A and B are shown apart, each in its own frame.
Chain A
């Protein structure tokens, strides 16, 4: 009994200590943001690794998700004779939820885990210590460019996902199932509001970008510097990202669309 309490206390304290480290780490990275200016090429390089290399995955996933939405939405809506609302349904679900959320989950699996593994390995092979010894702060050289590359890439990827997804729904709905093209678009435009929907969607994806990249780089930086430690950190990075994204999505949705 006492042993169990002891263990529970230890775990709780460790969790809070880690949370504290993560926040200090973020503050440290944000305070070093100005270092990006002389190191702009590093940001470009990381945008390539984090963003460009994720395009194919994001675009294909967006297409398929949109097509599935078109198919399922048509089946349900046609029962009510409301196929014309298919455009609204596809666009609203993609813009408000699926675009930012699914992109964030895919992004954490594709780019986040790679970031964690890369930074963890750099730690395990003493590259981070080596930098410190060369009087180069690894937070500035390694972390800051990756953090900003992730934060900047997420909204762009989510935009691609959503846009391609809507065309996936359009292809299935209008192209294959014969929904009227005019009402597909006009009902969508009549319902989707720029400020309420599109801007909030961009804000969501930006917040998810911060969360996912923060977790990824921190888990790498905080990893136990062994092969096993890095592999555990990579798993944690994806799992924590998924929880954090879905949890914060609920909060953001409540704040944005709750009124």
Chain B
């Protein structure tokens, strides 16, 4: 009786530990970005230069038509031209023509910034380490407001004439 009782307890504890570890494992795989970590290492590398990356962060999504195709792997500064160099890791199952345009957009009004790629019609594809030639910088709110103010000032000035 004693032996069988302790056997039941052992089975329960085994089940408990297995369930607990499974929950932690699934949290890591299903809930967090852990699965993409490995994928991001597998993908190919593209570079893009921007005048201003705004609040873009490493591991921000890279999307084509709203579909996630990769992530931002690194952001650094080009010391020569004082431009931001953004390194992208693209899922190797997506091929991009070499006249693709990279832009930094904001998801929603106040959301995170991400990179949107717009593929062109070129027959040649970008390879690992290539640079995306055409880029469009992030919209910075202060610049927008500044531009708007200058424009409206010009407008009111021309009206007076």
Are B68 and A186 touching (Cβ within 8 A)? yes
Partner of A190, one of B10, B27, B33: B33
Stretch in A14-22, A113-121, A159-167 with 4+ CB within 8 Å of B: A159-167
Are B17 and A156 touching (Cβ within 8 A)? yes
Partner of A156, one of B16, B34, B68: B16
Contact of B120 with A by CB under 8 A: no
Are A189 and B32 touching (Cβ within 8 A)? yes
Chain B residues within 8 Å of A95, by CB: 27, 31
In the bound assembly, the distance between CA atoms of A197 and B28 in angstroms comes to 9
Contact of B82 with A by CB under 8 A: no
Partner of A44, one of B10, B26, B34, B61: B10
Dominant secondary structure of chain B at its interface with chain A: helix
Partner of A160, one of B13, B19, B30: B19
Please give the distance in Å from A62's CB to the nearest CB on chain B.
10
A-B CB proximity, top 7 nearest: A156-B20, A159-B23, A194-B34, A159-B24, A163-B23, A194-B32, A192-B32
Chain B residues within 8 Å of A185, by CB: 30
Contact of B6 with A by CB under 8 A: yes
Task: Offer 11 A-B interface pairs, CB within 8 angstroms, sorted by A.
Answer: A44-B10, A155-B24, A156-B16, A156-B21, A156-B23, A160-B23, A188-B31, A189-B35, A190-B61, A193-B33, A194-B34
Please give the distance in Å from B86's CB to the nearest CB on chain A.
18
Are A162 and B9 touching (Cβ within 8 A)? no
Are A189 and B13 touching (Cβ within 8 A)? no
**Quick one: given A41-B6, A48-B13, A52-B13, are A194 and B19 in contact (CB under 8 Å)?**
no
Chain B residues within 8 Å of A197, by CB: 32
Chain A residues within 8 Å of B23, by CB: 156, 159-160, 162-164
**Quick one: given A44-B9, A44-B13, A159-B24, are A193 and B19 in contact (CB under 8 Å)?**
no
Are B37 and A194 touching (Cβ within 8 A)? yes
Are A51 and B13 touching (Cβ within 8 A)? yes
- Residues of A whose CB lies within 8 Å of any CB of B are 41, 44-45, 47-48, 51-52, 55, 82, 91, 95, 153, 155-157, 159-160, 162-164, 166, 185-186, 188-190, 192-194, 197-198, 201-202
Interface positions of B from 1 to 55, Cβ below 8 Å from A: 6, 9-10, 12-13, 15-17, 19-21, 23-24, 26-28, 30-37
Interface positions of B from 113 to 134, Cβ below 8 Å from A: none
B interface, size bucket: 20 to 34
Dominant secondary structure of chain A at its interface with chain B: helix
Contact of B108 with A by CB under 8 A: yes
Chain B residues within 8 Å of A55, by CB: 16, 19
Are B20 and A159 touching (Cβ within 8 A)? yes
Q: Which residue of A lies closest to B21 (CB)?
A: A156
Chain B residues within 8 Å of A202, by CB: 24
Q: Which residue of B lies closest to A41 (CB)?
A: B6
In the bound assembly, the distance between CA atoms of A202 and B28 in angstroms comes to 11
Chain B residues within 8 Å of A159, by CB: 20-21, 23-24, 27
In the bound assembly, the distance between CA atoms of A134 and B9 in angstroms comes to 27
Given contacts A160-B23, A194-B37, 12 further A-B contacts (CB under 8 A): A44-B9, A45-B6, A51-B20, A52-B12, A52-B16, A91-B31, A95-B27, A156-B16, A156-B17, A194-B33, A198-B24, A201-B27
Are A156 and B61 touching (Cβ within 8 A)? no
Please give the distance in Å from A179's CB to the nearest CB on chain B.
16
Partner of A194, one of B12, B21, B28, B61: B28
Are A51 and B31 touching (Cβ within 8 A)? no
Q: Which residue of A lies closest to B34 (CB)?
A: A194
Q: Which residue of B lies closest to A152 (CB)?
A: B17
Are B12 and A48 touching (Cβ within 8 A)? yes
